[in-house]
Amino acid sequence: MSIMVMEILPVGIIFAADRNVTGYDNYGNTIQDKKIEKVLKWPNRKAVIGFVGAANINNMYMDEWLKLFIKEYEDFNSFEVLAKELCCRIEKQRRIDEGSNSPVPLIIHLGGFERRNGFEVPVIWFIRNVYGMGKFDYRDFRKEFQYSEEFWNMFPKAYGEVFPEEIRKILSVLAKKFQPYWFHHGIDLATFNVMQDMLKSTFKLLCENLPNHEFPRDLSDWEKYLKMQVLMYGAYFEAFFPENKHFVGGGVDIASIPWPE
């Protein structure tokens, strides 16, 4: 299933994910025999995209398929139109790929900035065929995909009514607390969330108490912390699970875009 971590910060948006792909041998046993990119960036830096779940589409790996999609829509003008087109294309092809078989979960996030009321603000579009989340795992997978913008759906629920001109200030306060606003998707999120809370608390203490640890200031600084989160979770699978159950691991890919000035 993998792990994907997204953080929305006053300096920009960062996506990070591990690289392992779970396959099957001739006896139906799981194996990790391939590593692919699960986060990608538009060449003009207008958007970042990442996925977890099904790693194959139209007889190619998902990263290859997404690179073709990105090339086709390199100069898009609307995130909503782009998300809708991606959702329709994914559903159509996955229906062909799966045929009469049960659906395999696939979750895609598309992030970037758009102008609202004269201010650049983050947007995070969510494309998925997962319709339910249990306490520990995803539930209710369907053939039908749906799409929605989730930052402006979820952020006001946590912080009340929010205006575009306030977003960056609120994100700055959260970053100073070492609690940047995030979205997580992947396998056993309950375990990952506990571990990443511990990791952030540890680094906050290090930055506050040791001279050789400085508080992150720019995108490259924050990228290191996301990388550490993914590496930590991969180490957890390597330490506690047999080799054919390393659903997270294989390194880290990171893609980010700065807040437009």
For the chain, list the domains and their CATH numbers: 3-258 (3.60.20)
pLDDT in tens, 186-230: 999 999 999 999 999 999 999 999 999 999 999 999 999 999 999
Tens of pLDDT, residue by residue over 111-166, are 999 999 999 999 999 999 999 877 777 889 999 999 999 999 999 998 888 999 99
d(CA 65, CA 127) in angstroms, rounded, equals 15
What is the pTM for the complete model shown?
0.94
Q: Closest Cα to residue 187, out of 130, 226, 120? A: 130
